[in-house]
Structure 1
Amino acid sequence: MTAFADLHRGDEPLLLPNGWDHASAAVLAAQGFRAIGTTSLGVAAAAGLPDGTSDTRDETLRLALALGSGPYLLSVDAEDGYSEDPDEVGEFARELAAVGAVGVNLEDRLGSRALHADKIAAVKAAAPGLFVNARTDTYWLGDGAGTMARLDAYQQAGADGVFVPGLTEPRDIAALVRHLDVPLNILYTPTGPTVPHLADLGVRRVSLGSLLYRRALGAALETAVDIREGRTPGGTVPSYGAVDALSRRRDPAHSAGT
């Protein structure tokens, strides 16, 4: 976990882009991103499954297996751990670590605070090297009430970092940073603070979540419509050869992480 944890302690926040398949992760790594996360929405949508319903356990593990030997540090969005049984969540975390993941996101969905803390503790017991980023949805699904109490419980359970998507008010972000003993992760939004502003507030990790996946879908749709309407599509388009080269998996023995 040390190399990944260290990225949360640098002069600038860790900007974590989120991929959804081998090619998306590879092209991000080629641009110099040392760590890459997965996006549960991208994984679910690609498989024709709903996001946030614990239906993508197998798909998530398969993606981790495909990406875990890549030349980057991999953090996996595991929704709520795909189970209400902390021991099962711990076992899933052990499987992620076994295929090369160095981090995992676990979200509470505003359910039982105690249960989520138990899941975090189970993950740390089963896979001590995994960086556990404990997410609370107090702002994503609610009005922010109870945020500090939840984060305190998750810190005490062993979380290495905490994630509060939906929080965009600079004053509230700064207050959380002062309160926490572990790095704060914020979800980037184009209408919220910039990455330099978040850095000034003390945020140590900025995730892009499903933004890249959604923008990719948007670009595909715009391109198809432009061609249909007789317009020349714009935007950056990697060549066939470039994508084909990026999409060829490396021999794990020669990956940067080994």
Structure 2
Amino acid sequence: MTTHAETFRALHHAPRPLVLPNAWDHASAAVLAAAGFAAIGTTSLGVAAAAGKPDATGDTAAETLALARRLAGLPCPVSVDIEGGFAQTPEGVAEIAAELAALGVAGVNIEDGRPAGTLADLAERCETIAAVKSRAPRLFVNARTDTYWLGAGGLEVTIARLRAFAEAGADGVFVPGVAADDDVRALVDAGDLPLNVLFLPGRHTVDGLAALGVRRISTGSLLLRAALHAVTETARAVAAGGQMPTGLPSYADVQALAAAGADSPLDQS
């Protein structure tokens, strides 16, 4: 039987890029799985916002692990955003990654951005990636650099970090915030690992990124922000006595989502 981890890895080498929508709770992940998406990721902003906490401060380890336990039973691979790793040492990050792999999680995102707007030490990040792969070798490690996101380095710095991540054992690399076609193409050409790009509305299309060689396209916090907008607009429509949007899921539909993943298989990694 093919495991979720094997399926997830193969999706990065399919004819079309993997479009990875990012969920923030069980319902959002389950509805995306029911819609037929091949894999689901989590968004750290969404998990933090749902808990009433700020993003990217390393303060949502408990919430992230609890969500991973609920999502591991979904019928598709799940990748979990663990921010900087939720631990102070490479060994601590590796322990968390091993716990996620044992739950059946197929992959993790590990970022190098820090709350102060700086980049983590490159050698430490590489040591962390190597430690994770040592403890959880089947886990797909998507190594993220925030050079573009934070304005902390240009193309050459980004390429150097991506190559170092690859040498440390990463399975894929992620550069959120890169927009220009020439930069995306250069990042694809700079290494052999699948490149993950954050979808930027108005700047990207799936076909355009596919033509550049991108292998994975994430939505990040886009779906959460769209959902929050829909909440506000629907409430305003109720207050104004206006017409409701069509196609809303029913009470029974949402109840059915709760059953998805209720029986979580362990060790599907």
Whether the 8 Å contact between 1:39 and 1:210 is mirrored in structure 2 is yes
* SS across alignment from 2:226: helix
- 5+ residue gaps, structure 1, are none
* SS across alignment from 2:178: coil
Separation in structure 2 between the aligned mates of residue 62 and residue 187 of structure 1, nearest angstrom = 25
Match of 2:32 among 7, 25, 28: 28
Aligned to 1:174: 185
Matched, 1:78 2:76: no
Offset, 1:254: 7.9
What are the superposed Cα offsets for residues 167-200 of structure 1, whole Å, 9 maximum, x if unpaired? Answer: 0101110111111110000000112120010000
Offset, 1:246: 1.4
* SS across alignment from 1:139: helix
Larger RCO (CA within 8 A; separation ≥ 6)? 2
Separation in structure 1 between the aligned mates of residue 246 and residue 16 of structure 2, nearest angstrom = 29
Separation in structure 1 between the aligned mates of residue 161 and residue 179 of structure 2, nearest angstrom = 18
Range with bigger deviation, 242-251 or 168-177 = 242-251
Separation in structure 1 between the aligned mates of residue 134 and residue 239 of structure 2, nearest angstrom = 55
Matched, 1:252 2:263: yes
Aligned to 2:141: 132
Aligned to 2:101: 97
Separation in structure 2 between the aligned mates of residue 29 and residue 197 of structure 1, nearest angstrom = 25
Written as runs of structure 1 = structure 2, the 5 A alignment for 1:141-152 is 141-142=150-151, 144-145=153-154, 146-152=157-163
Aligned to 2:41: 37
Q: 1:71 to 1:152 in 2, by over 3 A?
A: same
Separation in structure 2 between the aligned mates of residue 4 and residue 105 of structure 1, nearest angstrom = 13
The amino acid of 1:175's aligned partner reads A
Aligned to 1:217: 228
Range with bigger deviation, 88-97 or 139-148 = 139-148
Separation in structure 1 between the aligned mates of residue 193 and residue 40 of structure 2, nearest angstrom = 20
Separation in structure 2 between the aligned mates of residue 44 and residue 14 of structure 1, nearest angstrom = 25
The amino acid of 2:151's aligned partner reads G
Separation in structure 2 between the aligned mates of residue 135 and residue 250 of structure 1, nearest angstrom = 28
Q: 1:253 to 1:221 in 2, by over 3 A?
A: closer
Identity %: 55
Aligned to 2:254: 243
Range with bigger deviation, 8-17 or 141-150 = 141-150
* SS across alignment from 1:247: helix
* SS across alignment from 1:33: coil
Q: 1:64 to 1:250 in 2, by over 3 A?
A: closer
Matched, 1:120 2:120: no
Range with bigger deviation, 88-97 or 229-238 = 229-238
Aligned to 1:13: 17
Match of 1:53 among 57, 60, 64: 57
Offset, 1:250: 3.9
Aligned to 1:188: 199
Whether the 8 Å contact between 2:71 and 2:261 is mirrored in structure 1 is no
The amino acid of 1:226's aligned partner reads A
- Provide the aligned C-alpha RMSD in A: 1.6
The amino acid of 1:96's aligned partner reads L
Aligned to 2:211: 200
- 5+ residue gaps, structure 2, are 114-118
Whether the 8 Å contact between 1:170 and 1:193 is mirrored in structure 2 is no
